Structure 1
Amino acid sequence: MSDCGAYAISIIAFIGSVFSPWYRWSGRKNPADHCCINVVTYGRGGRWTMTDRGEAALRLSTDEMRVGPSRIAWQGDRLVVDFDEATLPHPGRLRGRVTVHPSAITGVELPLVPDGSHVWRPFAPVSRVEVEIDRPGWTWTGHGYFDANFGTAALEDDFRYWTWGRFPIRSGTPDEGAVCFYDATRRDGSELGVGVLFDGAGNARTIAPPPRTRFRRSLWAVRRETRADPGYKPRQVKAMLDAPFYTRSAVRTAYEGEETVGVHEALDLDRFASPWLKPMLAVKVPRRRNWRWAE
């Protein structure tokens, strides 16, 4: 998110694109054949890109992941994302570079289910970002994070609902830090409820999270809740992504008396599992099977 709060960007690299209808229809036999670098910008002139690409478009090395015209690569102590993707529903291209400067890399892994088939890996929950996009006004700096989810099963097979939030804070840390809340309802009826406090040096400790607190549903009526100090009512301060099963937004909450605005996500996996949803998604997620590299 930009320091002024007017702009934001999210970038998700997929090998086995969990939100792709094409991957689901394929039977999820070959994750590499459904790869993607999804870039979405929020704010004036915001754009959406998410192209499901075949295995021919994927190249991997120790420090780099390429998917067709876009790539993510470590360059020394920074993570650089170069992208050149087709936009929908506004025809065109979104081109630019995002540089992530982690304050530190953590060693944290959190299994989301007891058998470890889903794992959250918060690599750099405290970072600075530089954004350069070939559109007027889209050069800015702000705060951000870098994390990953790994899994060997479909999300909708193991979860009914989950919500996640990352909020920058100073409470309980010697310098800039972040607190993350991860809550989920599993298919077997059990619950996940975790709070983790990170400092700028990459140290992490689990905390007793404040109460789950509901706030206004999304435009598609997806239920939303996050953690907040007792008596505090969270609220959305910036709309980002709103879909029938998923919402992402900037949310204001309070932790240990400190108000903070961070990125919040809620995911209704009962809705996502519905077969009627997949054709709708196919409109937003075009499939491009073939790719030819310029040698």
Structure 2
Amino acid sequence: MSDDGQRAVSVIGFIGSVFSPWYAWSGRSDPANHCCMNVATYGPGGRFAMTDRGRTALRRAPARLTIGPSSFDWTGSELVIDIDEVSSLPLVSRMRGRITLTPSAITGVELPLTRDGAHVWRPLAPISRISVALEAPGWQFDGHGYLDSNFGTRPLEQDFSYWTWGRYPTRAGAACFYDAARRDGSRLDAAVVFDEAGRARMTDAPPRTPLRRTLWALRRETRADPGTTPRQVKPMLDAPFYSRSVVETQVEGERLRGVHEALDLDRYANPLLKPMLAFRVPRRSRWRF
């Protein structure tokens, strides 16, 4: 997010594109054949790209991930993201440029999201700086950033019905809240605070507190001190099953503003949703370097 709070970017590299209808229709048996570089920009002229690509578009090395024309490169101190994508409807156009993420530290934290470890969250660099240089007017800025990774061996909707996640910069570093309702009836209630050196500490979180529902009437909640009400500051992504937004809340007396996500996996599991997603997630099975 930019330091002035007016613009934000999100970049996700998928091997086994979790929210791709094409991957779901394929039976999810070949993750490498459904790779994707999802790029979204939020603010004036914001756009969204999420092309499902075949295995010929995927190249992997210890410090580099290439998906079609875009790539992630780890230099040892920075993550350099080169973007060359085409945005989806209704604003079809080229999205090109570079984003450089510089972590304050790399953590060694891994959090299993299910008891058997089928899903794992790795907050690699919860406190970072970003430098954005995209080929579009106004899309050159510096700001604060975040880097994480998720791994899974089963479809999300098989193990979860609902979850929320939030990352909030604090005076001392950053706080992350990960709450989920599992299909077996148990709950995940994770609150982790990080300092600039990358040290992590589990902590007690204030109560779950509702946020106003989205335009798609998606239920949302985050952590907030008793007697306070979190609020959406900036809308980012509003889909029938998924929401991403900038949210302001209060935790231990400190006003925090960060990125919040809510995911309704009962809605996502509805087969009627997949054809709708195909309009936003085109399939390009062939690629030649």
Q: Please classify the TM superposition score into its range, dividing by the shorter chain length.
A: over 0.9
| 2:147 partner amino acid | F
Instruction: Give CA deviations for 1:176-232 in whole Å, capped at 9, x if unaligned.
Output: x00000000001111111100000100000000110000100111110000011111
Please give the alpha-carbon distance, in whole angstroms, between the structure 1 residues aligned to 2:141 and 2:257: 18
Please give the alpha-carbon distance, in whole angstroms, between the structure 1 residues aligned to 2:93 and 2:5: 26
Query: 3-state DSSP class of the match of 2:232?
Result: strand
Please give the alpha-carbon distance, in whole angstroms, between the structure 1 residues aligned to 2:102 and 2:51: 27
Q: 1:133 is matched with which residue?
A: 134
Structure 1 residues 74-83 or 242-251, which shifts more? 74-83
Following TM superposition, where does structure 1 have runs of at least 4 consecutive aligned residues deviating by more than 4 angstroms? none
Please give the alpha-carbon distance, in whole angstroms, between the structure 2 residues aligned to 1:33 and 1:207: 40
Please give the alpha-carbon distance, in whole angstroms, between the structure 2 residues aligned to 1:59 and 1:88: 24
Shift of 1:149: 0.7
- Root-mean-square deviation (CA), in Å? 0.5
| 1:254 partner amino acid | Q
Please give the alpha-carbon distance, in whole angstroms, between the structure 1 residues aligned to 2:199 and 2:92: 44
Please give the alpha-carbon distance, in whole angstroms, between the structure 1 residues aligned to 2:218 and 2:183: 18
| 2:48 partner amino acid | W
Q: 1:109 is matched with which residue?
A: 110
Q: 2:179 is matched with which residue?
A: 183
Query: 3-state DSSP class of the match of 1:137?
Result: coil
Specify which of 247, 254, 261 is matched with residue 257 of structure 2: 261
Please give the alpha-carbon distance, in whole angstroms, between the structure 1 residues aligned to 2:143 and 2:253: 23
Q: 1:245 is matched with which residue?
A: 241
Q: 1:206 is matched with which residue?
A: 202
Query: 3-state DSSP class of the match of 1:252?
Result: strand
Shift of 1:11: 0.4
Please give the alpha-carbon distance, in whole angstroms, between the structure 2 residues aligned to 1:132 and 1:268: 33
Give the alignment of 1:92-171 within 5 angstroms.
92-170=93-171
Aligned residues: 288
Shift of 1:76: 2.7
Give the alignment of 1:228-243 within 5 angstroms.
228-243=224-239
| 1:17 partner amino acid | S
Please give the alpha-carbon distance, in whole angstroms, between the structure 1 residues aligned to 2:121 and 2:50: 22
Please give the alpha-carbon distance, in whole angstroms, between the structure 1 residues aligned to 2:113 and 2:223: 18
Does 2:266 correspond to 1:270?
A: yes
Query: 3-state DSSP class of the match of 1:274?
Result: coil
Q: 2:26 is matched with which residue?
A: 26
| 1:11 partner amino acid | V
* TM-score normalized by the length of structure 2: 0.99
| 2:12 partner amino acid | I
Q: 2:189 is matched with which residue?
A: 193
Unaligned runs of 5+ in 1: none
Shift of 1:91: 1.7
Q: 1:286 is matched with which residue?
A: 282
* TM-score normalized by the length of structure 1: 0.97
Shift of 1:54: 0.1
Query: 3-state DSSP class of the match of 2:266?
Result: helix
Instruction: Give CA deviations for 1:3-46 in whole Å, capped at 9, x if unaligned.
Output: 00000000000000010000000000100000001000000000
Q: 1:5 is matched with which residue?
A: 5
Instruction: Give CA deviations for 1:95-119 in whole Å, capped at 9, x if unaligned.
Output: 0110000000000000000000000
Shift of 1:251: 0.1
Please give the alpha-carbon distance, in whole angstroms, between the structure 2 residues aligned to 1:74 and 1:278: 34
Please give the alpha-carbon distance, in whole angstroms, between the structure 1 residues aligned to 2:181 and 2:191: 15
Please give the alpha-carbon distance, in whole angstroms, between the structure 2 residues aligned to 1:19 and 1:161: 15
| 1:210 partner amino acid | P
Instruction: Give CA deviations for 1:42-89 in whole Å, capped at 9, x if unaligned.
Output: 000000000000000000000000000000010130000001001111
Please give the alpha-carbon distance, in whole angstroms, between the structure 2 residues aligned to 1:91 and 1:277: 22
Shift of 1:92: 1.2
Please give the alpha-carbon distance, in whole angstroms, between the structure 1 residues aligned to 2:31 and 2:132: 29
Please give the alpha-carbon distance, in whole angstroms, between the structure 2 residues aligned to 1:162 and 1:92: 32
| Matched-pair identity in % | 64
